[in-house]
Amino acid sequence: MTPATSTRPNPVDDSTSGEFARLARLATLVLNEHTDDGGLCAACHGIAFPCPSAVLAEHNTALTG
Ligand SMILES: [Zn+2]
């Protein structure tokens, strides 16, 4: 996002970035399973892709990446 904030000394950043990293790992796992399979989610059978889980995961990676 904004490079300036990541270099600013702030004790809160440590726990926040740790939480973001955890969410990013979870989101990556979700996105690896919930893939576009001919218009349907490969993990959520019968649900159109992107399924709610994939949408949430993409939001997480957008926030953290
Ligand atoms: Zn899914």
- pLDDT value of position 13: 59
- In 1-65 the beta strands, taken as DSSP E runs, fall at 36-37, 40-41
Give distance in angstroms: CA of 8 to centre of ligand 1. Answer: 37
Q: Please check whether residue 6 lies inside any domain of the structure.
A: no
Name the DSSP letter for residue 23.
H
pLDDT digits (tens, 9 = 90+) for 5-52: 556 555 555 677 888 888 889 999 999 999 999 999 999 989 999 999
- pLDDT value of position 52: 96
Q: Please check whether residue 43 lies inside any domain of the structure.
A: yes
**Contact between residue 7 and residue 41 where contact means Cβ atoms under 8 Å apart:** no
Give distance in angstroms: CA of 27 to centre of ligand 1. Answer: 12
Residues 3, 5: Cα–Cα separation, whole Å? 6
Q: Please check whether residue 9 lies inside any domain of the structure.
A: no
- pLDDT value of position 37: 95
pTM above threshold 0.75: no
Give distance in angstroms: CA of 61 to centre of ligand 1. Answer: 16
Neighbours of 38 (CB within 10 A): 6
Give distance in angstroms: CA of 55 to centre of ligand 1. Answer: 9
**Contact between residue 42 and residue 34 where contact means Cβ atoms under 8 Å apart:** yes
Its domain, for residue 44, covers 16-64
